[in-house]
Amino acid sequence: MTILVGLDSIMKDGEKPRTDRIQRNKIPSFKLRDGDKARFRFITDADNIIRAYFHRIPIVFPSGKMWNEDVFCKREEGIECEFCKRVDEQERKAGLKLCSWVYAYEIQHKFQNPRLQKEEDAEVWKKNKSGMYVENINKAMFWLSGVGKDKVLLKMLANLNAKYGTLLDREYEITRSGFDKGTTYTIIPESPSAIPENIKHLNLPDLLKVVKGEILSLNPDEKPVLTSKEKEEAEEIPIARKVFKKPAAKKTKVEEEEVRHDADELF
Ligand SMILES: [Zn+2]
């Protein structure tokens, strides 16, 4: 925030969309959609997994391109949160998330890479024996996950940690089914295996800073060479916030629990 002098500049500032203050997070994120199955290992152990609340803010570029950005809700820290004051109910509510670093090997999808429809050079995913399309990843990713219906994911992770005393000693296979408040997860632990050397030596940024949106890239000091597409994107300035109203869904108990405001404590 800066002090403004002069009615003209004050008026102009008021016309700026609020969304221009949201920066896109460039850290690779581990995203599972309905039907996806992934193989991964935890880099963050149970003691350091972070619970936080996030707003989902839709952002639209002049080109019509849009994405939903998950924005940390500062209210948990006792700091005023501008998104908690949003007029739109979908944006105002903050959802409960678990945050960790994971090393993702692959994600199997029910459908072919949707990017192929827009980008010629997008990766073609190969079909495996089970008829799933395999996206090879092999890198560290930030996992911002909902807890699932009846907090199923949280409960499963707590059970696995109680059983093995750590989450780091093996790979896991996770499957997501359903979406929104009907989302459920299953996690299958593999046999124990040593942490691979390349994972041991990853130099990842502080998880808490990533959660808070204070770090938005894996290499904050480096100036990465942008592809022409990324450059175009970077030069575009979001102009409007588009609100996609979903048909009013009945609020389930789970939804009430996941959507803070009555500050349901978990740990
Ligand atoms: Zn908030």
Q: Judge if pTM exceeds 0.75.
A: yes
Is the pLDDT assigned to residue 246 strictly greater than 70?
no
Which of 62, 10, 11, 13 lies closest to 240, judged by CA? Answer: 62
Please state whether beta strands 37-42 and 66-72 pair in parallel, antiparallel, or not at all (unpaired): unpaired
Question: Among candidates 92, 78, 96, 87, which has minimal Cα distance to 265?
Answer: 96
H-helix segments, 148-218: 152-164, 197-200, 207-211
Quote the ligand 1 centre to 121 CA distance (angstroms): 38
What percent of the chain has pLDDT above 70? 76
Tokens linked to 89: 């109910």
Write the DSSP symbol of residue 204: P
Q: What is the mean pLDDT of residues 173-181?
A: 93
Contact 112, 216 (CB under 8 A): no
Q: How far is the CA of 58 from the centre of ligand 1 (A)?
A: 15
Least confident of 178-187, 194-203, 211-220: 211-220
Least confident segment among 47-56, 66-75, 241-250: 241-250
pLDDT at residue 9, rounded to an integer: 78
227 C-alpha to ligand 1 centroid (Å): 34
Distance 78 CA to ligand 1 centre (A): 10
Query: What pLDDT, on the 0 to 100 scale, is given for residue 243?
Result: 45
The reply to whether 2 falls in a domain is no
67 C-alpha vs ligand 1 centroid, how far in Å?
19
Please report whether residue 7 resides in a domain: no
Range of the domain at 85: 21-258
Q: How far is the CA of 66 from the centre of ligand 1 (A)?
A: 21
* Separation of CA 135 and ligand 1 centre (Å): 34
Residue 12 included in any domain: no
pLDDT for the residue 6: 83
Confidence band (pLDDT; 50, 70, 90) for 17? very low
- Quick one: pLDDT band at residue 135, thresholds 50, 70, 90? very high
Q: Which of 146, 151, 144, 123 is nearest to 135 (CA)?
A: 123
Distance, CA 77 to ligand 1 centroid (Å)? 10
Q: How far is the CA of 69 from the centre of ligand 1 (A)?
A: 13
DSSP 21: G
Residue 153 Cα, ligand 1 centroid: separation in angstroms?
Answer: 23
In which residue are the tokens 């599972």 written? 32
Between the CA of 22 and the centroid of ligand 1 the distance, in Å, is: 14
Distance, CA 59 to ligand 1 centroid (Å)?
17
Residue 73 alpha carbon to ligand 1 centre in Å? 4
Does any domain span residue 263?
Answer: no
Task: Name the phi and psi angles at 141, rounded to 5.
Answer: -140, 155
**Domain total for the chain?**
1
Which tokens belong to 27?
């850290």
Q: Element (H or E) spanning 10, and its range?
A: helix 7-15
DSSP, residue by residue, 228-239: HHHHHHHH----
H or E stretch at 9: helix 7-15
Of 119 and 131, which is predicted with more confidence?
Answer: 131
Strand partners, 173: 39, 188
Whole-number Å distance, alpha carbon 233 to ligand 1 midpoint, is 27
Distance 204 CA to ligand 1 centre (A): 26
What's the confidence (pLDDT) of residue 20?
46
- Amino acid letter, residue 49: I
Q: Using DSSP, state whether 13 is helix, strand or coil.
A: helix
Cα(55) to centroid(ligand 1), Å? 6
pLDDT > 90: percent of the chain: 58
> Ligand 1 center to residue 261 CA distance, Å?
10
Residue 151 CA to ligand 1 center (angstroms) comes to 21
Structure tokens given for 158: 């707590």
User: What's the pLDDT at 237?
Assistant: 47
Whole-number Å distance between alpha carbons of 259 and 149: 12
Of 256, 254, 205, give the one whose Cα is nearest residue 99.
205
With b for 16 or more beta-carbon neighbours within 10 A and e for fewer, the 191-217 pattern comes to: eeeeeeeebeeeeebebeebbebebee
- Residue 125 to residues 48, 202, 250, Cα–Cα distance (Å): 33, 27, 37
The rounded Å distance from CA 201 to ligand 1 centre is 35
Distance 71 CA to ligand 1 centre (A): 8
Report if residue 68 sits inside a domain: yes
pLDDT at 19 over 60: no
For the record, the structure tokens of 107 come out as 């994600």
Query: Residue 64's pLDDT band (boundaries 50, 70, 90)?
Result: confident
Q: How confident is the model over 212-245, as pLDDT tens digits?
A: 988 988 876 654 444 555 555 554 445 444 444 4
Q: Quick check: is 29 in a domain?
A: yes
